Amino acid sequence: MPRVAILYCQRIKDHSCVGCAKCFKAIREKNGEFARYQDDIDLVAMTDCGDCPGLAAPRMKLLMETAKGLERAIDVVHFGTCMKAAMETAECPIDPDTMKVILEKRFGVEVVLGTHSY
Ligand code: SF4
Ligand code: SF4
């Protein structure tokens, strides 16, 4: 069972998706970027991106240490669709391709851009 974590945009969360209900539904229905998983998804954690200006790496460090300490090491990190929207339509300073490479190399996880499709 893949252990998954979701990062959300600190600025958009609860403005575009209240209570992150869209991602919970998408996980249950394997919608959008969750369609890649054959098995059930073990959602280990959801946390913010570290806030502007693109402080995702220190947030990831804390997240990975916490998950490992709980013996629930994370396999895959999804940037929420909210982060994708911030990158594509606002002035989010995160370049997703660059950040993906940095986080995958540094933390040994797979990074996926996006979550639900709606
Ligand atoms: S895209 Fe997902 S993580 Fe981001 S605010 Fe919506 S439900 Fe939450
Ligand atoms: S705009 Fe980008 S860096 Fe700023 S809070 Fe949102 S995802 Fe994080």
- Domain limits for position 55: 3-113
Residue 106 lies in a domain: yes
Rounded to the nearest angstrom, the distance between the alpha carbon of 71 and the centre of ligand 1 is 25
What is the pTM for the complete model shown?
0.96
Beta-carbon count within 10 A of 34 CB: 23
| 59 within 8 A of 48, measured Cβ to Cβ | yes
**What is residue 54's predicted lDDT score, i.e. its pLDDT?**
87
Residue 79 in domain: yes
Check residue 114 and give its pLDDT: 97
Would you tell me how many other CB atoms lie within 10 Å of the CB of residue 38?
8
Instruction: Give me the long-range contacts of 31-35 (CB less than 8 A, separation at least 24).
Output: 31/116, 31/117, 31/118, 32/81, 32/114, 32/115, 32/116, 32/117, 32/118, 33/78, 33/112, 33/113, 33/114, 33/115, 33/116, 33/117, 34/115, 34/116
Domains: count for the chain: 1
pLDDT at 15: 86
Instruction: Write down the pLDDT at residue 16.
Output: 81
Q: Check if 49 has its Cβ closer than 6 Å to any atom of ligand 2.
A: yes
118 lies in a domain?
no
Pocket flag, ligand 2, residue 96 (CB < 6 Å): no
Nearest ligand atom owner, CA of 80: 1
Q: Is residue 108 part of a domain?
A: yes
Residue 95 to residue 93: CA distance in whole angstroms: 6
Distance (Å) from CA 57 to ligand 2 centroid: 12
Along the 118 residues of the chain, how does pLDDT read in single tens digits? 999 999 999 999 988 899 999 999 999 999 999 999 999 999 999 999 999 998 999 999 999 999 999 999 999 999 999 999 999 999 999 999 999 999 999 999 999 999 999 9
Q: Is residue 68 part of a domain?
A: yes
